[in-house]
Amino acid sequence: MNDTGMATTQFSAIITTAIWLLLGSANALTKSAGCGKALGAHEKQGGTGSSNSLSITSSGINRTYLLYIPSVFSPTNPHGLIFSFHGRGQTGAEQERLSQFSNPDFNPNMLAWVDAMSVSGR
């Protein structure tokens, strides 16, 4: 990785950490429509390395993402959801490894790492 790529990755990690700290301090969670529903058959809880690889189709475009569900997750209680975005040329999996947000000792919230879309000509 060149110096520009490393600086971008470090900047992304700093911004993500700052956002996480801000969100973590505002822990007033309210129940949503999803509260009380069981996890899907293929969704699992756990610590580092146990994120779920999922996808969603939006406007006809398939988008992939990783979803971390902490081991303390209970479907009857509201939980925070943090989005962590990777830098250019990286993936959600690389951002998960870099951010360490799937470390249960560090983060009790759910987390999503969204993979970027491929844009032609860029």
Question: Residue 76's domain spans which residues?
Answer: 3-114
The tokens describing 118, both together, are 């491929």
Q: Is residue 120 part of a domain?
A: no
Asked if residue 28 belongs to a domain, the reply is yes
Q: Is residue 69 part of a domain?
A: yes
pLDDT for 98-116, tens place per residue? Answer: 787 777 777 777 777 777 7
Examine residue 8 and state whether it is found in any structural domain, yes or no: yes
The whole-number average pLDDT for the span 59-67 is 86
Q: Say whether pLDDT at 12 is over 60.
A: yes
Q: What is the pLDDT of residue 7?
A: 63
Summarised one tens digit per residue, pLDDT across range 26-57 is 445 677 777 778 888 888 887 666 788 888 89
Decide if 102 contacts 111 (C-beta within 8 A).
yes
Tell whether 70 is covered by a domain.
yes
Q: Is residue 98 part of a domain?
A: yes
Specify if 122 maps to a domain: no
Question: How many independent structural domains does the chain possess?
Answer: 1
Looking at residue 25, what is its pLDDT? 47
